[in-house]
Amino acid sequence: MVTARAHTNIALLKYWGKKDINLILPYNDSISLTLDHFYTDTSVEFDPSLKTDEILVDQQPSAGSGAKRVKRVLNLIRKLGDSTMFASVHSTNHVPSTAGLASSASAFAALASAGAKAAGLNLSERELSILARHGSGSASRSIFGGFVQWHAGHDDQSSYAQPIQRNVDWDINLITVLVDTSQKKISSTNGMQSVVETSPFYPAWVKSAQADVKPMQTAILNRNLATLGELAEQNAMRMHATTFGAVPSFTYFQPQTLAILTAVRNMRKQGVECYSTVDAGPNVKIICASSDNELIMHKLSKIVHQDQLLVCKPGPGITYL
């Protein structure tokens, strides 16, 4: 049995839409920061006595689309290892699932890493990233710590993530505001597919997102918080604009989401260097320097309870327990 731990990541430049649904190939590159606070521990053991894969998530049997995605990754591992053995999978999420907090990223990065090692495979980080992508696109980035870029690619082997800056040696963190951790009414998979198929804003979003890649790389390497934050906030708002253009239109925002976004803009006008980003969900992440945490959290406490606020710092890549 092998146990791996993977952390979630927050996309600063978003992945939103697949040009190949089966291979999970995105339309544009994305750039993320792996976080220290949220993570998944997954244990995998291939057992010749098993008659089928046994999948437990938070001590409960997994079923439906989640189980299918796990089996897809396990089947690829079996193919790579020329094996027919079924596996026992035990996964524990230290992050709310399906709430827009990237639980699938950490879950499938941990599964790919633990599963490959349990099968006796000696995969490179790039190969692990490709394997994890088959479970969840954003999982390709959670193989690595720090700032990570996922190359959109054009086929299975050219779509993978790689680190931009593994060890983040400058002052950047995220304040995560947990507006709502319940399951989303529209999953990320269904939401992005609806947008790709029906939103007239989508092609413009892809073009602008791809154009942001080089400036974001430069901002990271130059340790430029202001440029990084501006790019991330613009990218997130443009992504969410595509949902309003979908048919039928929808949004992941809730009233508290909008109140927090307004509060961040107001704080910035007052000279506080902070920027918002929002994935497919209502929860807001605020990019800032740790020196401003206390002030920002004090301002936000007028909108949300203190226990809805979590400070996240740059996190590590895959570790084996």
List domains and CATH numbers for the chain: 2-168 (3.30.230.10), 173-312 (3.30.70.890)
Short-list 255, 260, 283, CA closest to 101: 283
- Over residues 269-301, the pLDDT tens digits come to 999 999 999 999 999 999 999 999 999 999 999
Per-residue pLDDT averaged across 84-110, rounded?
Answer: 82
Short-list 319, 291, 315, 251, CA closest to 102: 315
pLDDT of residue 240: 97
Round to whole Å and give the CA distance between 90 and 200: 42
Residue type present at position 269 = K
Round to whole Å and give the CA distance between 77 and 63: 20
Query: Could you tell me the pLDDT band of residue 103, with boundaries at 50, 70 and 90?
Result: confident
- Cis upstream peptide for 61 (omega within 30°): no
**Rg for the chain, CA atoms, rounded:** 19
> Which residues lie across from 309 on neighbouring strands?
177
* The Cα angle at residue 144 between residues 138 and 145, in degrees rounded to 5: 110
